[in-house]
Amino acid sequence: QAQLVESGGGSVQAGGSLRLSCEAPGYTFSRYCMGWFRQAPGKEREGVAIIYTGNSNTAYVDSVKGRFTISQDNGQNTLYLQMNSLSPEDTAMYYCAAYFQFFYGGGCSRSRSDYKYWGQGTQVTVSS
């Protein structure tokens, strides 16, 4: 069973950037939907960026479009989230998640309940 490990979180001032990484040592994510979710205190966990590793198609929640970029390395065992122009509203615990999907079909789910594998999370704090 794949274990996901996030890294790259931290504290940054508004307008700054961070890059999150998600690795699964010894595991290759071919034909997986992979995503970055975040959860702020008192709020539900929301999907912010999703990628299908089979064709690199991506999708983003409106609030991060144009600021965040999800990508994968060529070996398909590391997932990234480049976050630019960060604002205090982006403060949250960020989680990497994945589930297997053989065909791209209609795309990847944005529902957290469909994601089978989860990391422990990495904290992102943006100060004004």
DSSP one-letter code for 30: S
pLDDT of residue 77: 83
Give CA–CA dist 43/28, Å, rounded. 32
pLDDT of residue 8: 97
pLDDT of residue 74: 72
Give CA–CA dist 29/44, Å, rounded. 26
pLDDT in tens, the chain (128 residues): 778 999 999 999 999 999 999 998 888 888 999 999 999 999 999 999 999 999 999 999 999 999 999 999 877 789 999 999 999 999 999 999 999 999 888 899 999 999 999 999 999 999 99
